[in-house]
Amino acid sequence: MWVSIYAASYLVLEIAALYFAYVAVARARTPQGSIAWVAFLISVPWLSVPAFLFFGHTRFRGYVVARRDSEEVIAGIGAFGKSNQPTGDGGDRGFTSFEAIAKLPVVGGSAMDLLIDGKATFDAIFEAIDEADSYVLAQFYIIHDDDLGRAFADRLVAAAKRGVDVRLLFDSVGCSKLPQPYLDRLSKAGVKVVNAHALRGPRHRFQVNFRNHRKTVVVDGQVGFTGGLNVGDEYMGHSDRFGPWRDTHCRLRGPVVTQLQLVFAEDWHWATHALLISELQWEPEPAEENMDALIVATGPGDVMETGTLYFCACILEARERVWIASPYFVPDVDILSALKLAALRGVDVRILVPDVIDHRIPWLAAFAYFDEIREAGVRVWRYTDGFMHQKVVLVDDDIASVGTTNMDNRSCRLNFEATAMIFDPRAAEAVAEMLESDFERAYLMEKTLVEQSLRRQIGAPFARLWAPIL
């Protein structure tokens, strides 16, 4: 009897594995992803079928953003770009590729201030919230109920009590440990608290892809913040496990804030069905710095591979240097090829990654890529002074990018991300100085994989097999 039950169960499992293999082939965005899933599903169905239920979908079908759903917003984007023309032309290749990826125009009259590490970031964010007159829009992937989390809640509650319209979006996966009383306190104070996937999120409870990884604060439509920092004590460097936490956020002013606000409005619309167009300020004061800027918001709802295209466009734009800081380095084949080609044509290509382990599998998988890019001339720097979590790109002396996008498949295809691109030598110089300081706290990787520990030699190739879902 038990043999028959086992045989029937195994048959059902095999049928499920074959069906999911078909789904992987039909829907995967890359051949690598489909091949990896097919091999995994057929060879180890007892493990792969549950994994596919959690991780096996790479498209968010039916995602409709507010700017496509509202004629008012569609018309407004065109007028907005014309009334805030950039001062530059984007050089030899122009802004066209970046604008096409973002579906937004590069706008002038903006400014970016680098916020290096937790104290500078949250001092600036808290000051802006405390000075809010009309509204605060806040969105984070992770919020903890710790010292920083409670200080953040205190600011939101105080703003709501003085009549400011406060809205908070949180991701249910990133905030899975956030206790309900924390959210209840905000709601009772008048803060409009919304799970980013509450109404139209993943189709079943197994789905943990499509995380909203954006970290955004917009105040009164005049000042905005985005970057790598979530709300938690570890981001302030108070973690015994990680030690000092190296991260970068940025404060934005001018017309680019309107674009960041639009991205928040899209996510709010997705989560609530409500349009915020008439409730928000869409004409920020121009900044004296008059920098050209663009918000590139990417995600699995996009028709094109916008996350990958963003990285490739930056790399292809480089003539002299492209420096990239990312806590995770699990690039797809297109990004990998772009990096190698840039190095082969003489561009100074540097990748800055942490030496400290955060998530072991992606950390280990990165070693399977390092030899390949180093052979082409890419230099890999490993940051040693605590954990490095920033997502920063520098191109030549002209483009600086700060945002939420890691150089891995999850950021490029599975998460909703946002990145601020500044096309200005002053911003590029500030980012260059910051990264040069980071390189001083890092070492140049010189050992090949065969010279690493036996655990890394064996583990890296197997970890790389998980690249499509990392």
Q: Annotated active-site positions, please?
A: 213, 215, 220, 389, 391, 396
Q: Are 161 and 155 in contact (CB under 8 A)?
A: no
DSSP string, 109-130: EEEEEEEEHHHHHHHHHHHHHH
Cα separations (Å) of 82 from 106, 266, 412?
A: 10, 22, 30
Picking from 44, 54, 51, the residue whose alpha carbon sits closest to that of residue 10 is: 44
Q: How many CB atoms lie within 10 A of CB 25?
A: 14
Among positive and negative, which fits the CA dihedral 223, 390, 339, 417? negative
Rounded distance between C-alpha atoms, residue 461 and residue 432, angstroms? 33
In 131-179, which ranges are continuous DSSP H helix? Answer: 147-161
Q: Which two tokens stand for residue 259?
A: 């674009």
Ramachandran bin of 449, using left for φ above 0, alpha for ψ from -120 to 50, beta for the remaining angles? alpha
Burial of 371 (C-beta count, 10 Å sphere; 0-12/13-18/19+): middle
3-state secondary structure of 198: coil
Task: Measure the CA angle with vertex 67, ends 61 and 73; round to 5°.
Answer: 160
Non-local CB neighbours of 149 within 8 Å, separated by 6+ positions: 143, 178, 182, 231, 232, 233
Quote the DSSP letter at residue 414. I
C-beta pairs of 358-363 under 8 Å, 24+ apart in sequence: 358/242, 358/327, 358/328, 358/387, 358/389, 359/328, 361/463, 361/466, 361/470, 362/328, 362/329, 362/330, 362/408, 362/463, 362/470, 363/328
What residue type is 245 in one-letter code? W
Q: Are strands 417-423 and 291-298 parallel, antiparallel or unpaired?
A: antiparallel
Q: Are 32 and 468 in contact (CB under 8 A)?
A: yes
Q: Are 392 and 381 in contact (CB under 8 A)?
A: no
Rounded distance between C-alpha atoms, residue 165 and residue 278, angstroms? 13
Non-local CB neighbours of 161 within 8 Å, separated by 6+ positions: 189, 190
